[in-house]
Amino acid sequence: MRGISAWSALVTAVASVAMLGVQAEEAADSKVVSLTQDSFGKFVNDEPLSLVEFFAPWCGHCQALAPQYEVAAKELESEKIKLAKVDCTQEEALCSEQGISSFPTLKVFRNGSASPYTGPRKSEGIVNYMVKQSLPAVSDVTEINLEDFTSKDSFVVVAFAEESDKTTRDELRQFAEDHRDMYVLGVSSSKDLAKAQGVKFPALVAFRKFDDPRAKYQGKGKSLSTDEIKSFVVVESLPLMDEISAENFLNYAVTGTPLAYYFVDPASPKLDDDVKKLTKVAREFRGKVNMVWIDATKFSSHGKALNLKGDSWPAFAIQDLKTGAKFPLNDLGKDVASSVRSFVSKFASGKLSPSLKSAPVPKQTSPVIDVVADEFDKWVFDDSRDVLLELFAPWCGHCKKLAPTYEKLAELYAADAQASKQVRVAKLDGTENDIPPDADIDLAGFPTIVLKPAGKNSREFIVYDGDRTLESLVEFISTNGKHHAKVAISKDSGSAKHDEL
């Protein structure tokens, strides 16, 4: 999803928080077990579930994690889940055996069997993640254990279904297996317990430590489908309005639901009041957008990436996480809630057009067409031509190295009477222009080269991953373009030095 990549800067910024001064000297009451080559095997093999951190004392991220890890270890003691650590500057052989290439690396072990840890790095997140790992994918829930089970996490879902309802139970188990790192799920066949929760078979009840403490879904048929389970769990698992950070961003990203950001200075005296009012707006559009607030002073660059001006707060923007489409609202007026409600309503009803950042329309002075966002359709979505498009950055060394070869490529097609009508060679500055949402191009780095074959309403983009030579580029166009256009490469055309993508 294109919208996710915009958060790389956010993750980096949060991870680079000021170090907490944790040194090698360990607290006397530490519950984190220090492992060596001699003790590692026995520890991970004997423990049914454990978490091991591989670290280096000089690593800044390890230092930031250390106090969070200590708190988590103490809290997990009651769950009989042990946390351990390995100093890779002292245990080089052990860390090499475990394939450790960066710090910190965390692994979950079940009686010696390892799997990557993919959870948060804050104590609460670590605790929640490991508790979920300790539970069955779906737990049996009764009147006796309901209270204890629903206290396992800040969000717990119990399905109510007949013992004979194999469809609901199978669908729930499959969903639980696919999402066991994220949700705590249970099932109950008690009609009395269902009645006490105000539901009938089949149904879902969410128990939460935020917003309304309970949310219910009454099944429409005899059994619950995967879509019913997923829709309910995904929507109800997120607070109506919460601060977003690197710690919880993925919780929103995996839903695929558009993300609506309220950019605000956290020192603003109106923050609490505005968030309270916006929470009501968020409830109105539950399931259509996920609404969050974000520290505008810390993440102003993210605001600019969403095409906000970035010099005046508060501001608001919606981002389609699937397409990357951006919908900024710079002027919120005096009534923030009213402005946001109107804006989100238009978005939800499809009445807003995405904002596209575009460089000024240039004069075309080269065989390589200089594309900007405002003219993307004109030059790239040309049904009559195969269009080779390079997305570049002015500062990119590989792009600069490719430039002479790319210019020569364009000259070859422009000089051929037939090929000039069949092929267009173009480029777009990816730092000054947004990619239109209907152009399915994943810009993962520079340069990115794609081919849009000719054809009525053709929107397919084929990624080029070959050599950056004239011969390879010409062959790529000939093989993948609709016209299969070919041009001759004369000896004096030269060829760029072989350079792998």
Three-state secondary structure call for residue 383: coil
> What interhelical angle do 397-415 and 470-480 show, nearest 10?
60
pTM comes to 0.71
Three-state secondary structure call for residue 498: coil
pLDDT at position 2 is 58
Q: Residues with Cβ < 8 Å from 400, sequence gap 6 or more? A: none
Active site (annotated) includes residue 88: no
Q: Residues with Cβ < 8 Å from 258, sequence gap 6 or more? A: 288, 289, 290, 318, 319, 320, 321, 347
Gap between the Cα atoms of 157 and 204, Å rounded? 7
| Interstrand relation of 290-295 and 259-264 (parallel, antiparallel or unpaired) | parallel
The catalytically annotated residue of 396, 443, 489, 501 is 396
Phi and psi at residue 452, in whole multiples of 5°?
Answer: -105, 105
Q: Are 190 and 161 in contact (CB under 8 A)?
A: no
Tell me which residues of the chain have a pLDDT lower than 70. Answer: 1-28, 492-501
For residue 111, the Cα-to-chain-centroid distance in whole angstroms is 31
Active site (annotated) includes residue 95: no
The catalytically annotated residue of 399, 439, 441, 454 is 399
Side chain identity, residue 329: L
Percent helix, strand, coil in the chain (nearest 5)? 35, 20, 45
3-state SS, 298-351, equals CCHHHHHHCCCCCCCCCEEEEECCCCCCEEEECCCCCCHHHHHHHHHHHHHCCC
Q: Are 74 and 31 in contact (CB under 8 A)?
A: yes
The catalytically annotated residue of 13, 59, 356, 359 is 59
* Whether the domain at 33-123 and the domain at 369-480 fall into the same CATH topology: yes
Q: Which of 94, 129, 136 is nearest to 115 (CA)?
A: 129
Q: Are 175 and 230 in contact (CB under 8 A)?
A: yes
Phi and psi at residue 329, in whole multiples of 5°?
Answer: -135, 100
Three-state secondary structure call for residue 374: helix
Gap between the Cα atoms of 459 and 454, Å rounded? 9
- For residue 298, the cross-strand partners are none
C-alpha distances in angstroms, 25 versus 62, 66, 201, 340, 419?
14, 12, 56, 51, 71
Query: Is the bond leading into 367 cis (omega within 30 degrees of zero)?
Result: no
> Domain 242-349 belongs to what topology?
Glutaredoxin (3.40.30)
Q: Which of 482, 464, 452, 449 is nearest to 379 (CA)?
A: 452
Active site (annotated) includes residue 396: yes
Q: Which of 292, 246, 253 is nearest to 120 (CA)?
A: 246
Gap between the Cα atoms of 162 and 169, Å rounded? 9
Side chain identity, residue 91: E
Three-state secondary structure call for residue 435: coil
Architecture of the CATH domain 369-480: 3-Layer(aba) Sandwich (3.40)
Instruction: Give the pair of three-digit tokens for residue 488.
Output: 């001759």
Using only C-alpha atoms, what is the Rg of the chain? Answer: 28
Gap between the Cα atoms of 367 and 414, Å rounded? 7
Instruction: Give the pair of three-digit tokens for residue 22.
Output: 């944790």
The catalytically annotated residue of 10, 32, 44, 62 is 62
Strand (E) positions, 88-237?
Answer: 105-110, 113-116, 139-140, 155-160, 184-188, 203-208, 214-218
CATH 3.60.120.10 fits 135-237, yes or no: no
Q: Are 155 and 237 in contact (CB under 8 A)?
A: yes
Gap between the Cα atoms of 316 and 325, Å rounded? 14
Q: Which of 498, 477, 500, 497 is nearest to 487 (CA)?
A: 477
Gap between the Cα atoms of 141 and 149, Å rounded? 7
Gap between the Cα atoms of 73 and 67, Å rounded? 10
Q: Under CATH, domain 33-123 is a member of which superfamily?
A: Glutaredoxin (3.40.30.10)
Q: Are 208 and 236 in contact (CB under 8 A)?
A: yes
Cα angle value 388/405/434 (rounded, 5°): 40
Helices and strands in the chain: count of H runs, count of E runs:
17, 20
Where are the chain's structural domains? 33-123, 135-237, 242-349, 369-480
